Amino acid sequence: MVGSDPSRKAEPRPPRVDELDALPCIEQRAGELLRGHEAYPVFAGHGLDLLTLQAGLQRGQLWVIEGVDGDIAGYLLGGVLDGDFHVLQMDVDPSHARRGYGRALLRHALAEARTRGYPAAVLTTLSDVPWNASFYASEGFNALPEAEWGAGLRAVMAEEAALGFPMHLRVAMRRVL
């Protein structure tokens, strides 16, 4: 069945320190799915570093999920932006795609954010890639008009523009928790 794997029983959890090295590799493999897209050069040229991942783990905002084979299928790194929970990065290894791992990670992170008192979750993503904006919309996120961006979100979008993202395809999204 597309979008789920009934045999998958793993739940998102914080990674062990020795698992952090696997996450940039997953990000890189997931980025390859965008080969030929306008944003591909940005994804190919910029990725998460170990210090960023260690910081996410230390603040309790980094989760992984295991595939049925026991390896890391995907991860979600969160943060804080304008007082909201910020989905900084989420990737699922393409070899584990379309089995519900991303959805499980996102739902877990949002439940954690709600428990921690965040009023909403926010992220930036591509509007034209099916596993980006439309996926997040299916989980209750709505496009956030620029007039409603806080200072932090404006800074994120400016940073993304400076990296070379095709900003006509970038969208900010928010979901009330």
Number of independent structural domains in the chain? 1
pLDDT of residue 9: 66
72 domain-assigned: yes
Give the residue numbers spanning the domain of 30.
17-176
H helix intervals, the chain: 22-31, 40-45, 50-58, 101-115, 135-138, 151-163
What's the pLDDT at 7? Answer: 44
Dihedral angle sign, alpha carbons of residues 119, 76, 134, 146:
positive
The total of other beta-carbon atoms located within 10 Å of residue 152's CB is 16
CATH code, domain with 98 = 3.40.630.30
Tell me the per-residue pLDDT of 92-145, one tens digit each, with 9 for 90 and over.
999 888 888 999 999 999 999 999 999 999 999 998 987 889 999 999 999 999
Residue 98: what are its φ and ψ, rounded to 5°?
Answer: 60, 35
Does the residue 8 lie in any domain? no
In this prediction, residue 164 carries a pLDDT of 87
Q: Is residue 5 part of a domain?
A: no
In a domain, 126, yes or no: yes
| pLDDT of 174 | 98
pLDDT at 156 over 80: yes
Average pLDDT, the chain: 91
Q: What is the pLDDT of residue 21?
A: 95
Domain assignment present for 107: yes
Distance CA 173, CA 160 (A): 15
